[in-house]
């Protein structure tokens, strides 16, 4: 009998541990927990609340082991971006997971909130919380490409953080970005939606829709907005994806909303719930208590589905290389003349021509070192020299190149000129703001100090000690209960 009791105790402890593990690996649960913490205070741009939030988010990344960098965002009072500067600096927070290549996938969200009484920015915080959950899930997974998680400051002021990020990158840095995924407003919305570039360049949207179909997850895209000449699936130009889009970086934009009620003025959804409640984001009801009281199940479902989709988008089972060729109208007829040659470990493997959709795919690849070469007529000059992209496949995943013709790439120059003139205004105005630097009591760059590592170890030891203590107490209680039962027998 005693052996049976001991066996029962072991089973109980095993179930206890298994329950903790299962909880830790499910989709969306961690995001909901982080969401509650983020919604405790307002995070209005250039205020103390935003700075404290940045500090908190940076620590979460650092505790996961990410190399975390804070970028200061600084503009003069009277700038083309037209916002009011407060007493504090705003920051972009960048957490990097190096891969086997320096080609990058960026996932971003703004972490500030609107200056509305009663609001603590719940909807915006959903994207931030989900981003942190994804970062935690993939931190130990080896990927063929580098992943950067970017939390933008001052997003509610006109995507200032995202604009700052794109404007301060060189053309070479932008060429390394395979795609940017913006995630936000994933709470009370009726359904999940994904938008992206027009045509084949919208591969982020198309691949996420395919992943959703394979996993029986409801994911939709936007209808065509004919009045504004916007095709199906492209969505609208509001959000952190806009500066990336117009700097020729392929993008995806995921949100939870409803296209059942459309603003007659702007032709975008004005009711994310589809239930006649109006826009929650930006209203006094955009806080944790009000939304979770009415939409708790929907919030959990949206975050669960979005987390699973993005995780499976990043962690691919098959090794493949996709190349999308973007040409001007005058050269589009020559797309079939463009060839891409794949080399493995210095040996020529395959040569393919672009199909009618301007796509070339090399799939079912094995581990090894690869290089891609392009051959095209002299009239076509590409922005990227794909010959420069050499990479190793030692893990599963997909590389995606968008090979743009230089003539199609005009906005970046204008975009950079505007930003540089703004920076000139800053230097000439002698504009200065105060910031409580003491909030950032750890390194702005790097992997952390030895003291940080010791703190991390202390926390781990403390958590393990608590867990062990709980298990011992459960064991003792069970022994006492079974001892009493034995005496009765």
Could you tell me the pLDDT band of residue 489, with boundaries at 50, 70 and 90? low
In 3D space, the residue among 92, 71, 82, 72 whose CA is nearest the CA of residue 422 turns out to be 82
The token duo for 368 is: 């090894």
Q: Does 419 fall in a domain?
A: no
Residues 304-329, mean pLDDT to the nearest whole number: 93
Query: 29: helix, coil or strand?
Result: helix
The token duo for 141 is: 């997974």
Gap between the Cα atoms of 105 and 53, Å rounded: 24
Residue after which a domain boundary falls, among 293, 314, 335: 314
Query: 344: helix, coil or strand?
Result: strand
In 3D space, the residue among 109, 159, 154 whose CA is nearest the CA of residue 130 turns out to be 109
In 207-355, beta strands by DSSP E? 251-257, 319-326, 339-344, 347-353
- Asked whether residue 283 falls in the same domain as residue 170, the answer is yes
- Asked whether residue 227 falls in the same domain as residue 103, the answer is yes
pLDDT digits (tens, 9 = 90+) for 120-165: 999 999 999 999 999 999 999 999 999 999 999 988 887 888 988 9
Residue 222 burial (CB < 10 Å; 0-12/13-18/19+)?
A: buried
pLDDT digits (tens, 9 = 90+) for 202-254: 999 999 999 999 999 999 999 988 777 889 999 988 899 988 998 889 999 99
Q: Are strands 67-73 and 90-97 parallel, antiparallel or unpaired?
A: antiparallel
Could you tell me the pLDDT band of residue 433, with boundaries at 50, 70 and 90? very low
Are 231 and 198 contacting, i.e. CB atoms less than 8 angstroms apart?
A: yes
- Asked whether residue 307 falls in the same domain as residue 325, the answer is no
> Is the pLDDT higher at 99 or at 21?
99
> Is the pLDDT higher at 222 or at 451?
222
Of 63-77, 180-194, 282-296, 411-425, the least confident? 411-425
Q: Tell me, what's the pLDDT at 220? A: 97
- Asked whether residue 283 falls in the same domain as residue 340, the answer is no
- Asked whether residue 278 falls in the same domain as residue 140, the answer is yes
Q: Tell me, what's the pLDDT at 328? A: 87
Q: Tell me, what's the pLDDT at 8? A: 41
Q: Tell me, what's the pLDDT at 384? A: 83
pTM for this predicted structure = 0.81
pLDDT digits (tens, 9 = 90+) for 365-423: 999 999 999 999 888 888 887 877 788 888 888 999 999 988 776 666 666 666 566 55
* Element spanning 439, H or E: none
Gap between the Cα atoms of 167 and 163, Å rounded: 6
Structural domain boundaries enclosing 461: 449-488
Chain centre to alpha carbon of residue 267: 26
Give me the helix-helix angle, 122-138 and 288-314, nearest 10°: 30
The token duo for 355 is: 């199909």
Gap between the Cα atoms of 163 and 154, Å rounded: 10
Q: Tell me, what's the pLDDT at 23? A: 38
Are 222 and 259 contacting, i.e. CB atoms less than 8 angstroms apart?
A: yes
Gap between the Cα atoms of 59 and 34, Å rounded: 13
The yes-or-no verdict on residue 7 having pLDDT over 90 is no
> Is the pLDDT higher at 12 or at 134?
134
Are 324 and 203 contacting, i.e. CB atoms less than 8 angstroms apart?
A: yes
Residues 63-89, mean pLDDT to the nearest whole number: 73
Count of helices and strands (H, E) across the chain: 11, 14
The yes-or-no verdict on residue 461 having pLDDT over 70 is no
The yes-or-no verdict on residue 439 having pLDDT over 60 is no
> Is the pLDDT higher at 449 or at 459?
459
- Asked whether residue 240 falls in the same domain as residue 107, the answer is yes
- Asked whether residue 195 falls in the same domain as residue 53, the answer is yes
Q: Tell me, what's the pLDDT at 340? A: 94
DSSP state of 198: S
CATH number (domain holding residue 103)? 3.40.630.10
Residues 45-67, mean pLDDT to the nearest whole number: 93
SS3 content of the chain, % helix, strand, coil (to 5): 45, 20, 35
- Asked whether residue 177 falls in the same domain as residue 271, the answer is yes
Strand partners, 67: 96
- Asked whether residue 266 falls in the same domain as residue 333, the answer is no
- Asked whether residue 324 falls in the same domain as residue 310, the answer is no
Could you tell me the pLDDT band of residue 444, with boundaries at 50, 70 and 90? very low
């Amino acid at each position: 009998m005693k052996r049976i009791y001991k066996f029962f105790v072991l089973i109980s402890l095993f179930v206890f541990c298994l329950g903790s593990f299962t909880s830790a690996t499910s989709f969306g649960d961690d995001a909901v927990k982080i969401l509650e913490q983020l919604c405790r205070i307002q995070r209005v741009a250039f205020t103390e609340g935003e700075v404290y939030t940045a500090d908190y988010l940076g620590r979460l990344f650092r505790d996961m082991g990410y190399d975390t960098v804070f970028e200061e965002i600084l503009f003069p009072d009277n700038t083309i971006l037209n916002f009011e500067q407060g007493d504090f600096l705003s920051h972009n927070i960048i957490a990097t997971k190096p891969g086997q290549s320096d080609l990058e996938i960026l996932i971003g969200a703004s972490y500030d909130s609107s200056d509305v009484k009663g609001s603590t920015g719940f909807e915006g915080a959903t994207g931030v919380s989900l981003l942190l959950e994804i970062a935690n899930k993939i931190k130990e997974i080896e990927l063929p490409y580098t992943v950067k998680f970017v939390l933008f400051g001052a997003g509610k002021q006109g995507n200032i953080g995202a604009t700052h990020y794109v404007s301060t990158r060189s053309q070479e840095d932008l060429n390394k970005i395979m795609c940017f995924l913006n995630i936000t407003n994933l709470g009370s919305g009726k359904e999940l939606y994904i938008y992206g570039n027009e045509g084949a360049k919208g591969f982020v949207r198309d691949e996420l829709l395919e992943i959703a179909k394979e996993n029986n997850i409801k994911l939709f895209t936007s209808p065509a907005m004919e009045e504004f000449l916007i095709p199906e699936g492209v969505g609208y130009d509001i959000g952190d994806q806009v500066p990336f889009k117009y700097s020729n970086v392929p993008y995806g934009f995921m949100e939870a909303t409803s296209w059942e009620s459309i603003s007659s003025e702007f032709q975008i959804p004005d009711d994310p719930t589809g239930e006649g409640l109006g826009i929650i984001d930006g209203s006094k009801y955009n806080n944790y208590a009000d939304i979770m009281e009415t939409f708790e199940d929907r919030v959990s479902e949206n975050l669960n589905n979005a987390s699973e989709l993005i995780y499976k988008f990043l962690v691919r089972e098959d090794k493949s290389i996709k190349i999308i060729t973007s040409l001007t109208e005058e050269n589009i007829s020559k797309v079939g003349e463009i060839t891409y040659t794949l080399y493995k470990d210095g040996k020529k493997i395959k040569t393919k021509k672009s199909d009618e959709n301007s796509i070339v795919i090399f799939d079912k690849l094995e581990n090894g070192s690869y290089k891609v070469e392009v051959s095209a007529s002299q009239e076509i000059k590409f922005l990227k020299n794909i010959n420069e992209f050499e990479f190793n496949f030692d893990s599963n995943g997909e590389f995606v190149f968008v090979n743009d013709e230089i003539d199609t790439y005009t906005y970046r120059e204008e975009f950079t000129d505007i930003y540089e003139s703004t920076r000139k205004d800053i230097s000439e105005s002698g504009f200065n703001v105060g910031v409580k630097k003491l909030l950032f009591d750890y390194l702005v760059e790097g992997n952390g100090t030895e003291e940080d590592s010791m703190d991390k170890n202390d926390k781990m030891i403390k958590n393990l000690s608590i867990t062990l203590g709980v298990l011992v107490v459960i064991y003792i209680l069970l022994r006492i209960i079974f001892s009493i039962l034995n005496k009765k027998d």
